[in-house]
């Protein structure tokens, strides 16, 4: 299914994005790797060349609409078409609402929300021509607002609304739109998080949390594209929380209020 498909994965120099690229490369896809750091892009491209020769890197910030036009142009120049966009670039943020600076909110909206909107707008005409696929990587935090994760949750939920509108608008075009809700997934040691001031810092090791492997989360994304499932979860807890919120919304808030202290300390 992925042989010769041109796949653009934003934020794919580490973590879930890089693992998804590796698995798609092994399945014959032509890969476009991206992140803001040219060094990380070069390193990821060299790594992926073990699995496929059809891989290029385009460094730049997906929260910048002009860069996203460049992402499209360079991809089409190299591969002639675009089949699949995986909107994966994102950053987590920590801090209680009372502690967060406006700068932190602005930055996370730029990266997590506009960083999914701009690539979608830029690549949509090409993907529509191919009747291709657009995947949005949300989070369990995008199902409901989690304590200590307000900015992150808000942006991950905004992605869901955007994807829902897009799916309905594209319903007679043959384009597939999907939302993926990863649960806690193993992190690379260099993973960063935005602090309350909106500054990037290395994420502290999260103890006491059972994390899904990057491979399992990436396989769920690939499986979702193959089966064209609108919503997909890489963990049982994601499915469970979705059901809880839908059928017992008041109870969900009560449970979270009880677990608040524990969740806030997970950052
Ligand atoms: N890991 C989890 O537990 C988990 C759970 C639920 C959802 N998710 C979501 O899954 C996605 C991947 O998570 P991850 O844990 O693999 O993250 P990660 O290890 O922090 O990797 C994020 C990637 O995005 C890139 N990036 C960040 N901002 C960017 C921007 N503005 N433009 C282009 N690239 C950008 C980073 O590279 P540069 O810094 O070089 O730009 C990096 O390659 C994110 O959307 C995240 O919110 C993760």
Digit-coded pLDDT (tens) for 44-62? 999 999 999 899 999 999 9
Rounded to whole angstroms, the Cα distance separating 4 from 130 reads: 12
β-pairing verdict for 30-33 and 6-9: parallel
Answer whether residue 102 is part of any domain. Answer: yes
Q: Look at ligand 1, atom 17, and give the residue with the nearest C-alpha.
A: 15
24 pLDDT higher than 90: yes
Answer whether residue 1 is part of any domain. Answer: no
Q: Give the three-class secondary structure for 166.
A: helix
Answer whether residue 47 is part of any domain. Answer: yes
Q: Give the three-class secondary structure for 22.
A: helix
Task: Write down the pTM of the prediction.
Answer: 0.95
Q: What is the CATH number of the domain that holds 146?
A: 3.40.50.720
Q: State how far the alpha carbon of 221 is from the alpha carbons of 180, 235, 248, in Å.
A: 7, 12, 27
Could you list the residue range(s) of the whole structural domain that residue 206 is in? 6-264
Give residue 131's region: left, alpha or beta (phi > 0; psi -120 to 50): left
Q: Which of 149, 152, 181, 233 is catalytic?
A: 152
Residue-wise pLDDT tens digits, 162-181? 999 999 999 999 999 999 99
Q: Is 152 noted as a catalytic residue in this protein? A: yes
Answer whether residue 175 is part of any domain. Answer: yes
Answer whether residue 249 is part of any domain. Answer: yes
Rounded to whole angstroms, the Cα distance separating 193 from 204 reads: 9
Total number of domains in the chain:
1
Res. 263 pLDDT band, cuts 50 70 90: confident
Residue count (the chain): 267
Rounded to whole angstroms, the Cα distance separating 111 from 204 reads: 21
Answer whether residue 17 is part of any domain. Answer: yes
Answer whether residue 99 is part of any domain. Answer: yes
Answer whether residue 41 is part of any domain. Answer: yes
Residue 188 Cβ inside 6 Å of ligand 1? The answer reads: yes
| Nearest CA among 194, 202, 35, 14 for reference residue 107 | 194
Residue-wise pLDDT tens digits, 186-210? 998 889 999 889 988 888 876 667 8
CB 159 within 8 A of CB 142: yes
Residue 90 Cβ inside 6 Å of ligand 1? The answer reads: yes
Q: What is the pLDDT of residue 265?
A: 65
Residue 40 Cβ inside 6 Å of ligand 1? The answer reads: yes
Average pLDDT, the chain: 94
Q: What is the pLDDT of residue 204?
A: 80
Q: What is the pLDDT of residue 234?
A: 86
CB 10 within 8 A of CB 115: yes
Q: Give the three-class secondary structure for 176.
A: strand
Q: Ligand 1 test: best mutation among 11, 109, 142, most atoms within 8 Å of CB?
A: 11
């Amino acid at each position: 299914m992925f042989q010769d498909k041109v796949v653009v994965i934003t934020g794919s120099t580490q973590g879930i994005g890089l693992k998804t690229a590796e698995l798609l490369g092994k399945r014959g896809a032509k890969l476009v790797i991206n992140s803001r750091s040219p060094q990380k892009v070069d390193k990821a491209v060299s790594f992926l060349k073990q699995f496929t020769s059809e891989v290029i890197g385009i460094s730049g910030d997906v929260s910048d609409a002009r860069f996203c036009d460049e992402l499209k142009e360079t991809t089409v120049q190299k591969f002639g078409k675009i089949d699949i966009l995986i909107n994966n670039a994102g950053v987590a943020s920590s801090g209680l609402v009372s502690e967060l600076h406006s700068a932190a909110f602005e930055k996370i909206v730029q990266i997590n929300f506009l960083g999914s909107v701009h690539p979608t707008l830029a690549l949509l005409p090409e993907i529509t021509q191919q009747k291709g696929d657009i995947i949005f990587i949300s989070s369990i935090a995008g199902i409901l607002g989690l304590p200590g994760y307000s900015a992150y949750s808000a942006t991950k939920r905004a992605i869901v609304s955007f994807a829902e509108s897009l799916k309905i608008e594209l319903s007679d075009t043959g384009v597939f739109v999907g939302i993926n809700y990863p649960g806690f997934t193993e992190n690379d040691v260099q993973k960063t998080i935005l602090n309350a001031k909106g500054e990037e810092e290395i994420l502290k090791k999260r103890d006491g949390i059972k994390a899904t492997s990057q491979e399992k989360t990436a396989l769920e994304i690939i499986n979702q594209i193959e089966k064209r499932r609108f919503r997909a979860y890489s963990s049982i807890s994601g499915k469970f929380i979705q059901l809880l919120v839908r059928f017992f919304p008041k109870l969900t808030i009560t449970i979270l209020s009880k677990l608040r202290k524990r969740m806030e300390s997970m950052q």
